[in-house]
Amino acid sequence: MSEAQEYVPSVIKAEELNPKFKYEMSKKHGAEKIMLCFQCGTCTADCPISRFSDFYRPRKIARMMQLGLKDRLLSDEALWLCSSCFTCVDHCPQGVEIAGIVRVLRNLSVKENRIMPLVYRELASNLLKGGYVYEIVESRHKKRAELGLPPLPKPNLEEIAKIFEITGSSKMLENVKTFEKVKS
Ligand code: SF4
Ligand code: SF4
C-alpha cells in the first residue's frame, strides 16, 4: 500500500466525535498524557509493528482518542496488534504512553463487550479452569518430577473464580466477541 493510499480517511461524521472521551480516558492509568500528543509521528516511525503493517499506526490511535472516536477505536482489531514493547513510550518527546493508551482501550473494549482476540479469551478461560494461562498436561508434571524439579504450586481455583466474579471478568468473557486474526 502506498503512503497516499494509507492515509485516505473514511468520512468521519460529526456525531462520531465525543469531546469528553479524552478527558474520561486521561483519568485512566497510562493514558494521562493523551492531550499532550502533538502528532509528531515519532511513535509510528519507531514502532516495530507499524514497520510491518500497512494499517497499524500508534499516532493515529492517539489522534482518534483526542477526537473521541471511541466506537472506531474499540471495534478496530488492529488495536490488538501492539506488542507492548514500549518503544513508543521511550521515544515520545511529549511523554505520551501509547502502550498504556492501547492497554486502556483494550480493557474498555472487553469491558464493553466489543472485541478481543480468541487466543486471549482462551488464556483467560485456562486460568479460570486450571489456575494457569496455559494448560499444563500430565506429561509435563511427570517430566518435572523426572528432572527432579518440585511440583508446580497448586492454584487456588476457588479464589481465582471469586476474582473473576468480583471483577466481572466471567461475564465479560462470555459476552465479548472474538476474532481469530486481524483483518488487513
Ligand atoms: S511520539 Fe508522542 S507526541 Fe509524537 S505522535 Fe506519538 S504520541 Fe504523539
Ligand atoms: S508498544 Fe505497541 S505501539 Fe508502542 S512501539 Fe511497541 S508495538 Fe508499537
Q: Which domains does the chain have, with CATH numbers?
A: 3-112 (1.10.1060.10), 117-179 (no CATH)
Provide the pLDDT for residue 71.
95
Provide the pLDDT for residue 181.
87
Q: Give exposure, 52-80, as e/b (b: 16+ Cβ within 10 Å).
A: eeeebbbbbbbebbbbbbbeebbebbbbb
Atom 2 in ligand 2: residue holding the nearest Cα:
82
Does any ligand 1 atom lie closer than 6 A to the CB of residue 73?
A: no
How far apart, in Å, do the first and last CA atoms of the chain sit?
A: 11
Question: Dihedrals φ, ψ of 132, to 5°?
Answer: -130, 150
- pTM for the whole thing? 0.87
Provide the pLDDT for residue 182.
86
- Reported in sequence order, the residue ranges of the chain that DSSP labels E, i.e. its strands, are 115-117, 177-179
Q: How far is CA 83 from CA 18, 24, 56, 99, 150, in A?
A: 28, 24, 11, 8, 32
pLDDT, one tens digit per residue, over 66-110 is: 999 999 999 999 999 999 999 999 999 999 999 999 999 999 999
Provide the pLDDT for residue 3.
45
Best mutation site among 34, 43, 46, 47 for ligand 2 pocket (most ligand atoms within 8 Å of CB): 47
What's the rounded Cα separation, in Å, for the pair 49 and 31?
20
What's the rounded Cα separation, in Å, for the pair 120 and 47?
22
Q: How close is the Cα of 130 to the center of ligand 2, in Å? A: 31
Instruction: List the Cα angle 138/143/144 in 5-degree steps.
Output: 100
Does any ligand 1 atom lie closer than 6 A to the CB of residue 65?
A: no
Residue 40 has pLDDT above 90, yes or no: yes
